[in-house]
Amino acid sequence: MKVLGKVAVITGGARGFGKAFSEALLKRGAKVCFADIDVSGGQQSQRELAAKFGETSVHFVKCDVAKEEEFRDLFRECLSKFKKINIMVNNAGILDEAGWEKCIDVNMTAMMRGTYLALEKMNPENGGEGGTIINVSSFAGLYPAHFLPAYVATKHGILGFTRSLAMDPLYQSQGIQLATLCPAFASTNMVTDIIQGEAGSRQKILYPDVAIKITENMGICSVADITDGFIELVEKENCNGDVLLIDKKNGKQYQFVNKTTS
Ligand SMILES: NC(=O)C1=CN([C@@H]2O[C@H](COP(=O)(O)OP(=O)(O)OC[C@H]3O[C@@H](n4cnc5c(N)ncnc54)[C@H](O)[C@@H]3O)[C@@H](O)[C@H]2O)C=CC1
Ligand SMILES: CCCCCC(=O)/C=C/C=C\C=C\C=C\[C@@H](O)[C@@H](O)CCCC(=O)O
């Protein structure tokens, strides 16, 4: 897809990947409506991005994606401000092994809701123009990790859900593509807080010492490495059904490439 002139909705955009993805799309001439549960972080990012790309290009919406009505309001607000939605990025995600139900609510249920809402708004029968939906899974969507069982389950779920919808001829006929991004460890707060021992962060996973050792063995991607893969998917003429794994040692690797999506 050519990004210039398109409108994107991005969840979890106050910091980390979501903020970097927003900036990368703005740089290429898109308008971005980003959402986050963190109001002060969202407002700060809004100020920074508006200063670089203009007030009329970027809009922050306070939204807890685990709350259905707030998610619906996010779409209403984006449509009211920017009139259309061409790119949907379900990026918001958390680690919470003790509170695994919350992990499922945010990583899995909300990702499904965001996808279904985007499919509805992108449908030409509803006035949409088709579009691209990128769901952010993980290396942990492809491989197990005993320090993250609930998180791994949600990330496998994202992968299976997104690949399944990508096979559906209905969405293909509507000009809608769905792809999955699978980053390995990257240097956002999700990982750096654990390595640096920020208060409460190591309680979110099991066996934090094992996890830290594995980050040392596998290496840690920069946010720019992951953003580069994200943009590659969005800009591809056909990303439907793609699963893009990115890790520090091997870089970008498309998965399941010999399998058709339908
Ligand atoms: N950093 C990493 O190494 C990897 C991260 N991922 C995934 O990438 C995505 C983004 O993660 P990072 O940027 O690394 O994390 P991060 O923790 O830096 O940013 C996540 C953002 O999501 C927001 N968020 C959390 N719960 C929310 C909710 N209920 N509603 C709305 N916003 C909410 C947070 O406030 C935060 O701004 C997540 O889905 C994560 O699972 C995947 C693979 C590797
Ligand atoms: C600190 C947790 C952040 C989780 C964020 C995320 O989604 C990233 C996951 C990235 C990789 C997970 C890898 C787990 C692998 C292990 O279970 C093991 O199979 C690999 C061992 C490889 C090694 O020791 O070199």
Best substitution site from 155, 214, 221 to test ligand 2's pocket, by max atoms within 8 Å of Cβ?
A: 214
User: Which strand ranges, in their side-by-side order, compose the sheet holding 7-11?
Assistant: 58-62, 31-36, 7-11, 87-90, 131-136, 176-183, 243-247, 251-254
Q: What percent of the chain has pLDDT over 90?
A: 98
As a whole number, mean pLDDT of residues 115-136 equals 98
Q: Does 182 score more than 90 pLDDT?
A: yes
Best substitution site from 64, 188, 193 to test ligand 1's pocket, by max atoms within 8 Å of Cβ?
A: 188
As a whole number, mean pLDDT of residues 145-160 equals 98
Q: Does 262 score more than 80 pLDDT?
A: no
pLDDT digits (tens, 9 = 90+) for 194-242: 999 999 999 999 999 999 999 999 999 999 999 999 999 999 999 999 9
Distance CA 208, CA 132 (A): 36
> Using 50, 70 and 90 to split pLDDT, how confident is the model at 163?
very high
How is residue 199 written in tokens?
């208060």
Average pLDDT, the chain: 97
Residues 6+ apart with CB under 8 A from 18: 10, 11, 12, 34, 36, 89, 91, 92
Q: Does 148 score more than 80 pLDDT?
A: yes
As a whole number, mean pLDDT of residues 42-63 equals 98
In the prediction, which pLDDT does 258 show?
76
* CA 141 to ligand 2: nearest atom: 7
Catalytic residue among 151, 171, 207, 254: 151
pLDDT digits (tens, 9 = 90+) for 60-105: 999 999 999 999 999 999 999 999 999 999 999 999 999 999 999 9
Q: Give me ligand 1 centre to Cα 67, in Å.
A: 16
Distance CA 122, CA 178 (A): 12
As a whole number, mean pLDDT of residues 118-132 equals 98
Q: Does 164 score more than 90 pLDDT?
A: yes
Reduce the secondary structure of 151-192 to three states and give it as a string.
Answer: HHHHHHHHHHHHHHHHCCHHHHHCCEEEEEEEECCECCHHHH
Q: Does 20 score more than 80 pLDDT?
A: yes
CA-proximal residue: ligand 1, atom 38 (nearest): 93
Q: Does 259 score more than 80 pLDDT?
A: no
Of 259 and 135, more confident = 135
As a whole number, mean pLDDT of residues 5-28 equals 99
Task: Check if 116 is active-site.
Answer: no
pTM for this model (two decimals): 0.98
**Class of residue 249 by CB neighbours under 10 A (exposed 0-12, middle 13-18, buried 19+):** exposed
* CA 92 to ligand 1: nearest atom: 22
Pairing, β 31-36 against β 7-11: parallel
Q: Please report, as a single letter, which amino acid is at residue 96.
A: D
> Per DSSP, what are the bridge partners of residue 35?
11, 61
> Using 50, 70 and 90 to split pLDDT, how confident is the model at 260?
low
Q: Does 45 score more than 90 pLDDT?
A: yes
Residues 6+ apart with CB under 8 A from 57: 26, 30, 31, 32, 49, 50
